[in-house]
Structure 1
Amino acid sequence: MKTFDEFATALESLFDPREAQSIARIVFEDCFNLQRSQFAQVTLNDTQTARLQSIFSALQRNEPLQYILGQADFYGLKFKVDPRVLIPRPETEELVEWVLDTLNTSSFTTSPRILDIGTGSGCIPITLAKKQPRAELWGLDVSAAALALAQENARLNQVQVHWLEADILQEPHWPQHFPNHPAFDIIISNPPYIPEQEQELMPAQVTQFEPHLALFVSDDDPLVFYRQIARFAQQYLRVNGYLFFECNEYNAKAVLALLVETGWKQVELREDLSGKERMVRAVFA
């Protein structure tokens, strides 16, 4: 596999042709710093070929491409990723877009304060800090290992984010971490939402490599994070502040109902570009 076409053809034994082409393009761009117009003219040297074979072998083991390369693209930015954090998804880009639209069309203070709960790689607050330099961003996660990587990503993208290690389910600790309230104009979360019983339905790429702590929730109470974060937000959002959730397409309506039942206003459910119900926004009044 010394050429782009040879690599893409080999990948078709693992992926459908369209995905194989996409993966081959990403590898040649990110690993070898080549432009698409150069792919057909380049023959890789022995060192590059060995690297390509190593990548192919890792893909055969179901390892996600982003972990193999050590980075992921998100909203036009580069983020370091490894098994400490979830790989940023395109659906989360759509959530960020909704937050940015809200920031641009609402009357916030000159420096709106925004908290992302379950921040992982930090892709949400870092992107918002990059696109809205006047905002003050916070990222919270229960995992110290995830926060260490998020800090690296903030340095990589040259933004300032306040990081906090905490378990949002531990309500008695909230005043310790957030002594001042109301504290935020926007609270965002893409929490764990896949019931444990659905693990067997997930691709091996996900279950073998991505952190279960960030993915799965107890079968007994799959909405526990939504309920607790909504409760937290009712204490720490300013009046007319916004709460944003990313959801499982199968529980989005249940999240919407939970917010309506607990007194949130202007609760809106939005589909992603694939037509799946994946995002909810609500106003604290």
Structure 2
Amino acid sequence: MALTYQEFSQKLASELRPLYSPEESQVLIEWLLEHHLGLRRVDVFHFMEEKDIPESIWKDFERLKTGEPIQYILGHGPFYGREFLVNQHTLIPRNETEELVHLILKENPQPGLRVLDIGTGTGCIPITLKLELKSPEVFALDVSKEAIEVARQNAQKHHADVEFILLDILTDTPTLFELDILVSNPPYVPEEEKESMHRNVLDHEPHLALFVPDRDPLLFYRVIAQKGKRLLKTSGKIYFEIFEHRGSEVCDLLKTMGYSRIKLHQDLNGKDRMVSAINE
């Protein structure tokens, strides 16, 4: 039986409704069809026979119905206009992190900056900064060797000269000094929040990159800010992505550690999502 693109996409999307909203379901199916068939929403009247749909679509659709994020199914996800490889060892790049990168670009137009990203995952932050800033020197580190490998692949894919370092920031300090910018999207979700999280995040994304102990929710911010005092030059800047309910606490922490011009930034949805400060 012949179906139009619209009819076929709506039929598949209806099977995702137990897991996703109607809008999310439709977007996910459109993403799947574009990946496998090269078809997009503008192909609304394109006809197809279900018997001619490749088996790969049905296999991926079954994975999608389990709640597995489509970025892991397809092996890539978009970030700041580029596609980044992802796998189960890396977090999926998100819109909030794009806003963090955009903030850094907007506030730092000068050339030749030295930049360090801590907890790099896919490498989306340092690679984007390398390609968008003017002649920067960019470094990135992560505790996961598997994540570092993905980040290196992404840097090669996008022809970005970023130096990646395997290092646990909680126990070691990189031998980098006189940095202009230190940026981090560290683990910040308290373990007590696990049960309220969407299952597709909880069941599939790496907990190492997500969660912090309930007893010490500012662990990574405190350690990174402490080490930032040594790594950053005077007047160097520190940027954090934060858990939306911890904005004032992160700001207070930075103040007690001697940072100045501390700012709490909201994302496009009006949520407290980023903090910036100056090393004095």
**TM-score between both structures, scaled by the size of structure 1:** 0.91
Correspondences of 1:115-126 after superposition (within 5 Å): 115-126=116-127
| Counterpart check, 1:63 vs 2:68 | yes
**Paired residue secondary structure (1:233):** helix
SS, match of residue 238 in structure 2: strand
Q: Secondary structure of the residue that 2:135 maps to in structure 1? A: coil
Alignment deviations for residues 205-236 of structure 1 (CA, whole Å, 9 cap, x no partner)? 01111000000011110101000000111111
Alpha carbons of 1:79 and 1:47: their partners in 2 closer, same or farther (altered >3 Å)? Answer: farther
Please say if 1:232 is aligned against 2:227. Answer: yes
- SS of match in other structure, 2:48: coil
CA distance in 2, matches of 1:278, 1:116: 17
Deviation at 1:136, TM superposition (A): 1.0
- Per-residue deviation, 1:51: 2.1
Question: CA–CA distance in 2 between the matches of 1:69 and 1:44?
Answer: 23
Pick one of 198, 204, 212 that aligns with 1:203.
Answer: 198
Decide whether the 8 Å contact of 2:15 with 2:65 is kept in 1: no
Amino acid at match of 1:129: K
Q: Is the 8 A contact 1:28 1:39 kept in 2?
A: no
> Matches of residues 134-149 of structure 1 in structure 2 within 5 Å?
134-149=135-150
Structure 1 unaligned blocks of 5 or more: none
Farther-moved stretch of structure 1 (266-275 vs 192-201) = 192-201
Q: Deviations over 1:188-212 (max 9, x none)?
A: 0000011112111111101111000
- Report SS of the residue matched to 2:29: helix
1:87 is aligned to 2:83: no
Task: Tell me the equivalent position of 2:208.
Answer: 213
Q: CA deviation at 1:239?
A: 1.1
Change in Cα spacing, 1:161 to 1:42, as seen in structure 2 (3 Å) is: farther
Contact 1:72/1:81, CA 8 A, preserved across alignment: yes
**1:259-274 correspondence runs (5 A):** 259-274=254-269
SS in 2 for 1:209: coil
Instruction: Kindly indicate whether the alpha-carbon contact (under 8 Å) linking 1:9 and 1:20 is maintained by their aligned counterparts in 2.
Output: no
Structure 2 CA distance for partners of 1:91 and 1:253, relative to 1, 3 Å: same
Aligned to 1:50: 55
* CA RMSD, 1 decimal: 1.7
Structure 2 residue aligned with 1:169: 170
What is the aligned partner in structure 1 of residue 159 from structure 2? 158
Residue by residue, what CA displacement relative to the aligned partner does 1:27-51 show, whole Å, maximum 9, x if unpaired? 2222322343224214267564422
Which whole-Å CA distance do the structure 2 matches of 1:90 and 1:234 have between them? 29
- The alignment status of 1:74 with 2:95, answered yes or no, reads no
Aligned to 1:181, which of 170, 177, 184? 177
Task: Check 1:227–1:234 CA distance in 2 against 1; reply closer, same or farther (3 A cut).
Answer: same
- Using the TM superposition, name which of 206-215 and 21-30 deviates more: 21-30
- Paired with 1:95 and 1:199, the residues of 2 have a C-alpha distance of 24
Question: C-alpha distance in 2, partners of 1:30/1:245?
Answer: 33
Distance 1:42 1:240 in 2: 60
Is 2:276 the partner of 1:281? yes
- Give the distance between the partners of 1:275 and 1:211, measured in 2 at CA: 27
Distance 1:74 1:42, change over 3 A: farther
In the TM superposition, what is the alpha-carbon distance from 1:2 to its structure 2 partner? Answer: 6.2
Q: Aligned-pair distance for 1:16? A: 2.0
Shift of 1:131: 1.2
Distance 1:47-1:151 versus aligned 2 partners, 3 A rule: farther
1:34 and 2:39 correspond: yes
Of 8, 11, 15, 1:9 maps to 11
CA 1:3–1:164 in structure 2 vs 1: closer, same or farther (change >3 Å)? farther
Query: Conserved in 2, the CA contact under 8 Å of 1:244 and 1:282?
Result: yes
Which secondary structure state, in structure 2, belongs to the residue aligned with residue 279 of structure 1?
strand
In the superposition, the TM-score normalised over structure 2's length comes to 0.93
